[in-house]
Amino acid sequence: MRDKETPACEKIHHILEELPKYSSPSSALPRNGLYFFYEQGEICAHTGKLRIVRVGNHPRSQDRLVTRLREHYGEIDYPEKKNGSVFRRLLGGAILRRRDPNHPCLLPSPGEGHWEKHGGRTCELCRPLEDEVTRLLKTAFRFRCIEIIAMNERNEMEKKLIATLAKCHECGPSQSWLGLRAYSQNVQRSGMWNSEYVDSAYEMTMSDLEEMERHVKKSALHQGLDLTEEESNTKI
């Protein structure tokens, strides 16, 4: 653990470096825990490596971490895959808005068009976007996971991590970051693909960071860091 003067954001990024990065859901992942997405071109000012752009969880049920990630990657056979993942809706909406701010699938207003609204049905125009979002996730994103079995602890740490990372004034988004086209102003302002907890009063304390580091060291052993090829094959 670094000294007290080191920004919490930097500590979080350094702590997670022990873990392998994945390009898609894997059976090597824990059944319960938090995930951390990194995105091509988005750099952490503290480390010079990729910065965390999303922290996620499976907050209301146990043994669902891999399923949650599979929902993001469109691997669950839902009629509308984007309705199983706000992350997919944010990504797809930003892609459409970059292409055409007045795209019919985004109307009548940000977050209210049938692509971005939860429960909205895709049409012939935006249905191909499902595959585009999946390709983007597999090519431009990687993620790490830490095992946290207790639901209450996992939920509290998620809130604190999101708020802490969002408050960092050094690790801002690049000028070309896709999230600047997202409908959520919380995403735009925070530089993270999270719309909840970015403005909350939660923050990681030294004891929280030490507990996180313990979880990471245990998770690194369970995920077989010395055997995985994910890290060596990941160039983003």
- pLDDT per residue as tens digits for the range 145-160: 999 999 999 999 999 9
Residue 24 lies in a domain: yes
Q: Where are the beta strands (DSSP E) in 3-161?
A: 33-43, 50-56, 141-147
pLDDT at 5: 63
Two tokens, residue 176: 């070309």
Residue 12 lies in a domain: yes
pTM of the model: 0.93
Residue 17 lies in a domain: yes
Two tokens, residue 160: 């604190």
pLDDT at 229: 43
Burial of 180 (0-12, 13-18, 19+ CB in 10 A): middle
Residue 31 lies in a domain: yes
SS3 10: helix
pLDDT at 154: 98
Contact between residue 215 and residue 156 where contact means Cβ atoms under 8 Å apart: no
Contact between residue 44 and residue 171 where contact means Cβ atoms under 8 Å apart: yes
Query: What is the number of structural domains in the chain?
Result: 1
For 197, other C-beta atoms within 10 Å of its C-beta total 21
pLDDT at 235: 56
Residue 106 lies in a domain: no
Taking each helix axis as running N to C, give the angle between helix 8-16 and helix 151-167, from 0 to 180 degrees, rounded to the nearest 10: 120
pLDDT at 4: 52
Residue 117 lies in a domain: no
SS3 35: strand
Residue numbers of the domain that contains 44: 8-79+140-233
Question: How far is the C-alpha of 41 from the C-alpha of 39, rounded, in Å?
Answer: 6
Residue 59 lies in a domain: yes
Residue 197 lies in a domain: yes
**Weakly modelled stretches of the chain, pLDDT under 50:** 1-3, 226-234
